[in-house]
Structure 1
Amino acid sequence: MPDLPDISNIPYLPSPARDMNWRDLNRFKSSDRGSDFYKTCLDYSQVLWRQRLPARAILCLDRAWGADLTGDEPILESWPLPYQALVYILQNAPTGVFLGNPRIHFQHYADRLGEPRLEQRKWRSWACWALSCKARPDFQSDPDHDVEEPSLEKIAQKLDQYGHIEETKLWKSILQAID
């Protein structure tokens, strides 16, 4: 494999100083998915991005959105929910690397989630689906997936209901800023 030029860090994620692997996330028990887990997900997503694995970086962000946070944790002041990081990945993935189809991923993910915090995670997934649709309109939806795609208004309403305070505002501002 030829040497590839370095890619820039995702500016919306922390930059861990050390290399990481799946064990860094695996060490967390299902009952210990708070701030430390959230930060580790963000860190590992950045590591995966640097390794030119954008699809896996997005999967790591999925785990961050599923962290058990109430919205008032100090980590969220420095590193808000990673909607902007998702858009960055979608718009800056290097040519020739596997990105998958994030639109279909989030469409299916929203429909197949289970507890804990099912509704919160479901509507975050639909919010990511909407960002994916706007950031990468070249990706098609799954025509065989028999689920009604929600309107932006419905997504906002459900984020208001199940998300953190100001989460809908964050999501809307990122959605509106997409070129």
Structure 2
Amino acid sequence: MDTPDPCPYLPEADPGMSWRSLAPYRSSPGADFYPVALRYAQTLWMRGLSARSLLALDRALFAQMDGSEPVLREWPLPYRATAWIVAHNPTGVFIGNPRVHFQHLADRVRGSDAARKSWRAWACWRLVRAVDPQLPGDPRHIVAEPTDSAISDGLSAHGHPGEADLWRSALLALENP
């Protein structure tokens, strides 16, 4: 496999990174953790590990931040990165079914931040649907799929200030390239 182009929405890869790079943040995955998770996602992407790269982006999306962190100015929440990786996945490289992944994630998150995490997962689910509308959902996992308006409202109610606009911008970029 040829080395893929780096995702333009993520920091530069660090070939020395491994899952151990995230371990120090296990008890406090906040603003310091966020860019590490993004860099790890890029590192996995550059290694040809698309599915694992998406999982690292999940971790970044779920970082405990309130939206005021300076790192978010340089590296906004990775909605565009998620869509870009799905859209640019090389033929033959395992990525699974991102639509099903985000559908399950949105419906199964628990804990104090469950609403925020769920709406972010639904937002990614919608981006994946825009990238590849032919990806099937999971017919055994019956769930009410939200409308764009519901996702936007959910992000407005539970996400960072301006997050719904950030997501709509990513979706608009996919629908009007």
Give the SS at the match of 1:95: coil
Give the SS at the match of 1:35: coil
Q: Which runs of 4 or more aligned residues in structure 1 lie more than 3 Å from their structure 2 counterparts after TM superposition?
A: none
Structure 2 unaligned residues grouped into runs of 5+? none
- Look up the match of 1:50: 46
Task: State the superposition RMSD in angstroms.
Answer: 1.0
Separation in 2, partners of 1:18, 1:49: 11
- Look up the match of 1:79: 75
From 113, 120, 134, the counterpart of 1:117:
113
Range moving further from structure 2, 20-29 or 157-166: 20-29
Residue identity in the other structure for 1:110: A
Separation in 2, partners of 1:116, 1:49: 30
Identity %: 45
Give the SS at the match of 1:62: helix
Separation in 1, partners of 2:121, 2:95: 17
Separation in 1, partners of 2:4, 2:159: 32
- 1:1-12 alignment runs, 5 A limit: 4-12=1-9
Alignment CA distance shift 1:136-1:7 (3 Å): same
Range moving further from structure 2, 90-99 or 4-13: 4-13
Residue identity in the other structure for 1:123: W
Separation in 2, partners of 1:75, 1:11: 16
Separation in 1, partners of 2:6, 2:111: 32
Q: Compute the TM-score of the two structures, normalised by the length of structure 1.
A: 0.94
Give the SS at the match of 1:115: coil
From 135, 138, 154, the counterpart of 2:131:
135
From 105, 111, 132, the counterpart of 2:101:
105
Give the SS at the match of 1:128: helix
Residue identity in the other structure for 1:146: I
> Shift of residue 27 of structure 1?
1.9
- Look up the match of 1:173: 169
> Shift of residue 33 of structure 1?
1.1
From 11, 29, 33, the counterpart of 2:26:
29
How many residue pairs get matched?
175
Q: Compute the TM-score of the two structures, normalised by the length of structure 2.
A: 0.95
Separation in 2, partners of 1:139, 1:19: 34
Give the SS at the match of 1:93: coil
Separation in 2, partners of 1:10, 1:99: 15
> Shift of residue 17 of structure 1?
4.1
Range moving further from structure 2, 34-43 or 10-19: 10-19
> Shift of residue 138 of structure 1?
2.0
